[in-house]
A and B are shown apart, each in its own frame.
Chain A
Amino acid sequence: MKRQFHGGVHPHYHKETRDLAIRSIPLPGELAVSLSQHIGAPAKAIVSKGDRVLKYQPIAEPSGFVSAGLHAPVSGTVKGVKPMLHPSGRFIPAILIEPDGLDEAEDTSRHADPGLEKGPEAWKEMVRNAGVVGMGGAAFPTHVKLNPPEDKPIDLVVANGVECEPFLTADHRLMLEDPGPIIGGLRLTMEIVGAGRVIVAIEANKLDAAEKIRSMDLPPGCEVVVLPVRYPQGAEKQLIFALTGRQVPSGGLPMDVGVIVQNVGTLAAIHQAVTMGRPLVERVMTLGGTLPKGPGNYLVAVGTPLSHIIETTGGLQGPAARIISGGPMMGLPLSGFESSMTKGTSGLLVFGARDFRELKPRPCVRCGSCVRACPANLLPYTLGNMVEWDHFHDLEEYHIRDCIECGCCTYICPADRNLVQYIRQGKAELLARSRSK
């Protein structure tokens, strides 16, 4: 018996790239590896202009616990460390590397534990040294997740292969083409956190991937669960609820209910970090939307300029009106292709002006669609109205902090109200107020 989380929406899932096998993108003339690739403190560069680096060599180290190190994706020369446009729209320092085309790699095998003999503590350290972060989008440093406090026992590991955002198919292809490392990462995670159960969660529009995983040699107690297609099924709290009925408490984390959720790409990265000592320097991403001439799933080195991805796949069919890093529901809007791939870039979507209808924001007609769509059980229209009318004092009583910013309310609103945007504004206002106190 599966449980449905409340709310959610059914955007057309547009998985047009689902049958396109993963291909590599040739190296660009210069890579810009951003020092801010994850949630938490940016990394600190440990190379400087003129240095020669080998592929996989550390080039930046974590600055604090919630931080992750960086490694050279190629062998080449460091051209400098300077502020570059980041997908967030800000200028953030990045390490510029010019590839030398030799692809000389550092010997990573000395960091590796191919026979899996060293045990969980060593593995955690390896994951940390490899700079692994969550690859589903939020890019949370993985070693932090693998380190739940003693008083929070974990009994369940969830491999998140839901990929509920429309257009994105990178996880789907990964599960289909190379499930081995995913399962390997799953076993490692189970052992690291001491969990006895595993669920691989996949949405029903990827039955082939579910079959593929089922056909593998799975760890004991592992279940492959096919979930109905509904956004935001892949959001951690909603996913845990759908699978187990457990509600992550407000303000809490999955570990508070004994669960760890890892994206399938992250699991594969954990496996590579431990068995090969190989750091996270590349990832699979989906190039999609209506404009790219070469849509597909690509293996791309971290730091690759987005413009290079567009150029080497054949360019665009027309002028881009909307560029999105990530999925269309939660992805970041980009002003152009000037920024570069990060470890969290799950997709690059490009659309033309005709793909969007003109929005006419109007007063709320109280249709209740947003209330029915909200997976956090909030009253989005009330929150939106409060922010619009500057009534900030009641926002907390209406639990604005429990909004996961999934965008379902805005997606569904017939009055074209940008409710999430109001909510983000409200959260920012509350933050500013608590700071000024």
Chain B
Amino acid sequence: MTKSVLAPSPHLRSPKTIETAMYSVIVALVPAAVVGTYFFGLNAVRVMVVSILGCLVVEGFVLRLRGRGLSTLKDGSAILTGLLLAMNLPSSSPVWMVLIGCIVAILVGKQVYGGLGYNPFNPALVARVFLLISFPVAMTTWPEPGVFSLSLDTVTKATPLGAMKTNLLLHGNLGDIAHMSLLDPFMGRMGGSLGEVSAIALLLGGIFLLARGVITWHIPGSFLATVFAMTGLFWLINPQKYASPFLHLVTGGLLLGAIFMATDYVTSPVTTKGMIVFGVGCGAITVFIRLFGGYPEGVSFAILLMNSVTPIIDRYTRPTVFGYSPAKEVNA
């Protein structure tokens, strides 16, 4: 006798799963992690390892408590949250601070809502902003990037955006920063969180994700285009006071945020139109905070704010159902 399964159609499934998506993003972050390690040394490795292990332990602990078994530990989402959190921290972050970040990310950012799929905010960003508000000094002390060193000492260096803000406040203009070479931030030689400093590494990861179909261009594209257009406009109006749009593109957490954080499935819109609205919103808020706000950098806040309106965006960008547009003849 045959024992055939009576599963309903479709009988074929795409090989892509949550796991393949999560691990693809993790792989896509490898170049940035390598550059971070090259410039910030063992400190960077330490922060990444602590953050990933911390998130896994907290996730495992909560799953145990909820009697869910540990199966979802393997879906890669906790590892990804840990890695993303690390990318968003200075390499000098103390272990205890990273661990607090892990607890906030998994517990407050994800599990209180019911776990993967239900969280309204990007967990890594929730943790980053929590740490930024709680420990502002530790979170904005940027080690000087150097060629790989085993030293755990830190020499601090401002981020380009931070330096611009300071100059602007003190002197009313951007100072030397306006003329800084774009090559350094492009390669990764600037102050900043350990994963955000190298534009080229982040772009490589982004291309990989686009090619594998893990993300689409809509969110990063509209996000970056908006930042570029808006900062470009201000720059044309007054280049003494506003930095060039190219500088804005490659500095701060913009690329990391646009490619890896704003595209988080769970917390961004699902409709194509909605993704563009979301990206434009993230871009506009980022620019407002960078140019007019109290913080030099606004990507995290922008994404979190837009996360909160994702449900509304989804509701108002529903596609027109097939059969409801008037007949249009294209090739009569």
Q: Which residues of A contact B (CB under 8 A)?
A: 1-3, 5-6, 9, 11, 89, 166, 237, 241, 243-252, 257, 319-324, 328-337, 349, 351, 356-357, 359-360, 362-369, 371-372, 375-379, 381, 399, 402, 407-408, 410-416, 418, 420-421, 424
Shortest B316–chain A CB gap in Å is: 13
Complex Cα gap A378–B224 (Å): 29
Please classify the interface of chain A as helix (H, G, I), strand (E, B), loop, or mixed, using the class held by over half of its residues.
Answer: loop
**A245: which of B1, B270, B275, B331 is its contact (CB, 8 Å)?**
B331
Contact status B8-A418, CB under 8 Å: yes
Complex Cα gap A12–B105 (Å): 39
Contact status A363-B116, CB under 8 Å: yes
- Could you tell me which residues of chain B, from 52 to 92, have a CB within 8 Å of some CB in chain A? 72, 75
Shortest B111–chain A CB gap in Å is: 13
Contact status A377-B11, CB under 8 Å: no
Q: B155 — which chain A residues lie within 8 A by C-beta?
A: none
Contact status B323-A416, CB under 8 Å: no
Q: A1 — which chain B residues lie within 8 A by C-beta?
A: 330-331
**B8: which of A11, A357, A420 is its contact (CB, 8 Å)?**
A420
> A322-B11, A367-B21, A407-B10 known; A247 and B327 CB under 8 Å?
yes
Contact status A365-B266, CB under 8 Å: yes
**B7: which of A322, A379, A413, A424 is its contact (CB, 8 Å)?**
A322
Top 6 A-B residue pairs of the complex, sorted by shortest distance between their CB atoms: A407-B10, A245-B330, A368-B270, A250-B323, A363-B117, A367-B265
Contact status B5-A333, CB under 8 Å: yes
- Could you tell me which residues of chain B, from 26 to 66, have a CB within 8 Å of some CB in chain A? none
What are 15 inter-chain pairs, A to B, with CB distance below 8 A?
A: A2-B331, A246-B327, A246-B329, A252-B323, A257-B327, A332-B9, A362-B18, A362-B75, A365-B18, A368-B271, A368-B272, A372-B272, A378-B321, A399-B321, A411-B13
Shortest B276–chain A CB gap in Å is: 12
**A367: which of B7, B8, B270 is its contact (CB, 8 Å)?**
B270
Contact status A412-B16, CB under 8 Å: yes
**A251: which of B272, B323, B332 is its contact (CB, 8 Å)?**
B323
Contact status A328-B10, CB under 8 Å: yes
Chain B CB within 10 Å — which of A251, A333, A381 has the most? A333
Complex Cα gap A366–B118 (Å): 9
Q: A332 — which chain B residues lie within 8 A by C-beta?
A: 9
> A367-B270, A379-B271, A414-B16 known; A6 and B322 CB under 8 Å?
yes
Q: B272 — which chain A residues lie within 8 A by C-beta?
A: 368, 371-372
> A252-B323, A321-B4 known; A366 and B266 CB under 8 Å?
yes
Contact status B265-A412, CB under 8 Å: no
Shortest B272–chain A CB gap in Å is: 7
Q: A413 — which chain B residues lie within 8 A by C-beta?
A: 14
> A328-B11, A363-B116, A376-B321 known; A321 and B5 CB under 8 Å?
yes
Contact status A402-B323, CB under 8 Å: yes
Complex Cα gap A415–B329 (Å): 38
**A244: which of B9, B116, B270, B331 is its contact (CB, 8 Å)?**
B331
Shortest B259–chain A CB gap in Å is: 16
> A336-B2, A371-B319, A377-B320 known; A330 and B16 CB under 8 Å?
no
Contact status A323-B13, CB under 8 Å: no
Shortest A416–chain B CB gap in Å is: 7
Contact status B15-A357, CB under 8 Å: yes
Shortest A307–chain B CB gap in Å is: 10
Please classify the interface of chain B as helix (H, G, I), strand (E, B), loop, or mixed, using the class held by over half of its residues.
Answer: loop
Contact status A366-B322, CB under 8 Å: no
Shortest A339–chain B CB gap in Å is: 12
Number of A-B pairs whose CB atoms are under 8 Å? 187
Flag whether B211 is at the interface (Cβ < 8 A): no
Q: Scoring B residues 308 to 327 as 1 if CB is less than 8 Å from chain A, else 0, what string do you get?
A: 00000000001111111111
Flag whether B17 is at the interface (Cβ < 8 A): yes
Shortest Cβ distance from A167 into B: residue? B12
Q: B318 — which chain A residues lie within 8 A by C-beta?
A: 379
Contact status B328-A245, CB under 8 Å: yes
Q: B1 — which chain A residues lie within 8 A by C-beta?
A: 336
Contact status B4-A11, CB under 8 Å: no
Contact status A416-B10, CB under 8 Å: no
Shortest Cβ distance from A155 into B: residue? B332
> A321-B3, A333-B8, A420-B8 known; A247 and B323 CB under 8 Å?
yes
> A244-B329, A246-B328 known; A365 and B265 CB under 8 Å?
yes
Contact status B270-A337, CB under 8 Å: no
**B4: which of A249, A336, A366, A369 is its contact (CB, 8 Å)?**
A336
Shortest B186–chain A CB gap in Å is: 31
Q: A6 — which chain B residues lie within 8 A by C-beta?
A: 319, 322
Complex Cα gap A247–B331 (Å): 13
Contact status A333-B321, CB under 8 Å: no
Shortest A80–chain B CB gap in Å is: 25
Contact status A415-B270, CB under 8 Å: no
Contact status A377-B5, CB under 8 Å: no
Contact status A334-B331, CB under 8 Å: no
Complex Cα gap A166–B114 (Å): 38
Flag whether B175 is at the interface (Cβ < 8 A): no
> A362-B117, A367-B21, A412-B16 known; A250 and B321 CB under 8 Å?
yes
Contact status A407-B323, CB under 8 Å: no
Shortest B18–chain A CB gap in Å is: 5
> A1-B331, A402-B322 known; A11 and B9 CB under 8 Å?
no
Flag whether B20 is at the interface (Cβ < 8 A): yes
Flag whether B162 is at the interface (Cβ < 8 A): no
Q: B328 — which chain A residues lie within 8 A by C-beta?
A: 245-247
Contact status A368-B327, CB under 8 Å: no
Contact status A247-B322, CB under 8 Å: yes
Chain B CB within 10 Å — which of A89, A372, A408, A420 has the most? A372
Contact status A365-B2, CB under 8 Å: no
Contact status B329-A330, CB under 8 Å: no
